[in-house]
Structure 1
Amino acid sequence: MTTTTTPPATAEVPVQKRTSIGKFLVQGGTTIALVALVVFFFAMRPDVFLTFTNVRNILFQVSILAIIAGAQTLVMVVGDFDLSLAATSSLAGSVAASLMLDGSSTVPAILVALAVGLGVGLANGFLVAYVGLSAFVATLATMTSVTGLAYLVTDGTTLFDLPAGFNSLGQGRFLNIPVPVYIAIGLSVVLWALLRFTTTGRKWYAIGGNVEVSRLSGINVNRGRLLAFAAAGLISAVGGILLAARLGSASAVQGSDNLLFSVAAVFLGMTVIRSGRANLVGTMVGVAIIGVMSNGLNILGVNSYVQQVVTGLIIIAAVTLSSVRTRER
């Protein structure tokens, strides 16, 4: 009689996925970084960092950046990129200042400056959506031209002695909070609602997700991209006008750092949500990181050149994290 032996049962080895800690770090890296920065700078200077005055200063410092970063978010939602936003904001501030110094009243000067920003945005959108240029090339060319126009408007100088009523937009306070903070928060809420609840926002996200599928679904892709660039140009003009009012002056290169910082903020914000896409809430978290870092390093007396190095490292980390999230989608 033959006997059969049953092979010993082998235990099933579960498939190892990304560890919960690693997944948490990837998905919540931006928020963790913000909390870590706050804790670190508070530990270093508990007598200064989280005081009402300093928190107000941080909000005031990042208010213009928040507006420019919001504009950059709109363009990146549709899968494009705008290098001309900071230059457009400088041109808008310069135009408003120049008109007021030439005798125009405040409101018409602001309206013309807003129209200039809208016009630059429409030009970018037309070049990208209808001419077929890459967003990088088109907006790089526009940035160069717009900067030249700003130099022409200001005659290569800094414009001073702006009307007090105009300056109050950037220097005034309500309930001891600077006016630009309220404007930045209000505009951010409007942009968040636009992206979250409107048909236009859903179309923009669809275009950014897959252009061809969006086109086959009946979405007018070219018009959607044009509108995104136009809105970004208009919003950047708001930032430039507020910056001129805040400083009481205008120049052709005013706020040029906001381009780099806005890109970093958007990339940082991409890690906040599961989809890894550009989003307004995440962008504001990125803006907060940049503001807290800059303020904290200033309080600690860190050299400004070191701050530039740290900013570059933050951009590298932001792009890396957003790339990881994109591969996981």
Structure 2
Amino acid sequence: MTSSRDTMTAAVVVTHSRTVGRVLLQGGTVVALVLLLAFFFAMRPDTFLSFVNVRNILYQVSILAIIAAAQTIVMVVGDFDLSVGATSSLAGSVSATLMLGNSPIPVAIVAGLAVGLLVGLVNGVLIAYLNLSAFVATLATMTSVIGLAYLVTAGTTLFGMPAAFNALGQGRFLNIPLPVYSAIVIALVIWCALRFTTVGRRWHAIGGNVEVARLSGVNVRFARLLAFTMAGLVSAIGGILLAARLGSASAEQGGNNMMFSVAAVFLGMTVLRSGAANLGGTMIGVAIIGVMSNGLNILGVNAYVQQVVTGLIIIAAVTLSSLKTRER
């Protein structure tokens, strides 16, 4: 009797442990964000969750949120884009150069957006129609685009853009920086496109199973081309806003956003049971990165240590995503 009762108790404990494990795996990203908020609030209760600091966090991650949204589009399709950061830098540099050459602000912005579209289109053609791997194609594109950005800027940092342009990145509405609103609008548009449009459903279908999508009548090549093109355009928006926020443009000022955008998407993959890329999860991943960076700065942690922590977070994100895929 005792042996039978012990066996039942052990079975209940094992079942409970597995349930807890699934819950942690399912909501690991959300739990991590809550724990980070709690930790930094406990360390700096008078500063961390103040309105000013929360606003600073939103301001700091606004551009990353836009770049990560671009990365999400591509990763929904089952690919990834190493060139999003370089594309944003080139777009900002082109717009800045044209404005310094007395071109009207709208013309300079449209030119920057056209650069993003062109880079995305090139990526799409290389990957969808020439069948190059996304890693090889976007790595090559990233290298070339960085070189073009250096040529456009002559290897210097560009200053002196018109005040009206800088206001796009430095202005405020209701005491909230304008890039925060831009990031929210872009994220909502992309979320709606992924969730409610035919193109979005096709992207999800391709990311789930390319062959099934093809047999279902989806033009896989064109859909992948469109995904990379849209990612290029959104990256360009981020780069132009970054130039406006900083009041300057350089060849590599958006470079770190590529690494952070990939980390944010991987972190967000644990939010859904399917373990697929999704915009809501990506934004949670962006929040984790922003909260961590801001909290470590408040605590006075060395910048090099922050780089180590960032690397560990990327490893954790990929590991969680891998575990989620195996569970599937």
Q: Same fold (TM over 0.5)?
A: yes
Moved more, 15-24 or 191-200: 15-24
SS at match of 1:228: helix
Structure with greater helix percent: 2
d(CA) in 2 for partners of 1:61, 1:165: 21
Q: Post-superposition shift, 1:170? A: 0.2
1:20-73 per-residue CA deviation (whole Å, 9 max, x = no partner) reads: 111111001100000000000000000100000000000000000000000000
Q: Post-superposition shift, 1:256? A: 0.9
Q: Which residue of 1 aligns with 2:90?
A: 91
**Structure 1 ranges of 4+ moved more than 2 A:** 10-18
SS at match of 2:159: coil
d(CA) in 1 for partners of 2:262, 2:96: 27
Is residue 271 of structure 2 the alignment partner of residue 279 of structure 1?
no
Q: Which residue of 2 aligns with 1:109?
A: 108
d(CA) in 2 for partners of 1:212, 1:23: 30
Q: Which residue of 2 aligns with 1:45?
A: 44
Q: Post-superposition shift, 1:158? A: 0.5
Aligned pairs (5 A) from 1:11-26: 19-26=18-25
Q: Which amino acid aligns with 1:219?
A: V
d(CA) in 2 for partners of 1:215, 1:24: 34
Q: Which amino acid aligns with 2:262?
A: V
SS at match of 1:322: helix
Q: Which residue of 2 aligns with 1:134?
A: 133
Q: Post-superposition shift, 1:155? A: 0.5
Structure 2, unmatched stretches of 5+, are none
Aligned pairs (5 A) from 1:216-231: 216-231=215-230
SS at match of 1:302: coil
Structure 1, unmatched stretches of 5+, are 1-9
Q: Post-superposition shift, 1:152? A: 0.5
Q: Post-superposition shift, 1:164? A: 0.4
Moved more, 16-25 or 274-283: 16-25
SS at match of 2:27: helix
SS at match of 2:125: helix
Q: Post-superposition shift, 1:180? A: 0.1
Q: Which residue of 2 aligns with 1:124?
A: 123
Q: Post-superposition shift, 1:19? A: 1.6
Q: Which amino acid aligns with 2:143?
A: T
1:139-198 per-residue CA deviation (whole Å, 9 max, x = no partner) reads: 000000000000000000011000000000000000000000000001001111111111
1:261-280 per-residue CA deviation (whole Å, 9 max, x = no partner) reads: 00000000000111100000
Q: Which residue of 1 aligns with 2:269?
A: 270
Q: Which amino acid aligns with 1:146?
A: V
Q: Which residue of 1 aligns with 2:321?
A: 322
Aligned pairs (5 A) from 1:51-200: 51-200=50-199
Is residue 309 of structure 2 the alignment partner of residue 310 of structure 1?
yes
Q: Which residue of 2 aligns with 1:202?
A: 201
Q: Post-superposition shift, 1:255? A: 1.8
d(CA) in 2 for partners of 1:39, 1:255: 30
Q: Which amino acid aligns with 1:104?
A: S
d(CA) in 2 for partners of 1:185, 1:81: 22
1:101-130 per-residue CA deviation (whole Å, 9 max, x = no partner) reads: 011010010001000000000000000000
1:75-105 per-residue CA deviation (whole Å, 9 max, x = no partner) reads: 0000001000000000000000000001101
Q: Which residue of 2 aligns with 1:5?
A: none
SS at match of 2:248: coil
Q: Which residue of 2 aligns with 1:298?
A: 297
Q: Which amino acid aligns with 2:180?
A: V
Q: Post-superposition shift, 1:281? A: 0.1
Q: Which residue of 1 aligns with 2:234?
A: 235
SS at match of 1:236: helix
Q: Which residue of 2 aligns with 1:36?
A: 35
Q: Which amino acid aligns with 1:186?
A: V
Q: Which residue of 2 aligns with 1:7?
A: none
d(CA) in 1 for partners of 2:23, 2:304: 32
d(CA) in 2 for partners of 1:20, 1:39: 24
1:218-246 per-residue CA deviation (whole Å, 9 max, x = no partner) reads: 00000010000000000000000000000
Q: Post-superposition shift, 1:137? A: 0.1
d(CA) in 2 for partners of 1:285, 1:81: 19
Q: TM-score, normalised by structure 1?
A: 0.95
d(CA) in 2 for partners of 1:272, 1:132: 31
d(CA) in 1 for partners of 2:24, 2:158: 47
d(CA) in 2 for partners of 1:28, 1:81: 24
d(CA) in 2 for partners of 1:318, 1:124: 25
Is residue 288 of structure 2 the alignment partner of residue 289 of structure 1?
yes
d(CA) in 1 for partners of 2:255, 2:133: 22
d(CA) in 2 for partners of 1:111, 1:297: 37
d(CA) in 1 for partners of 2:149, 2:325: 38
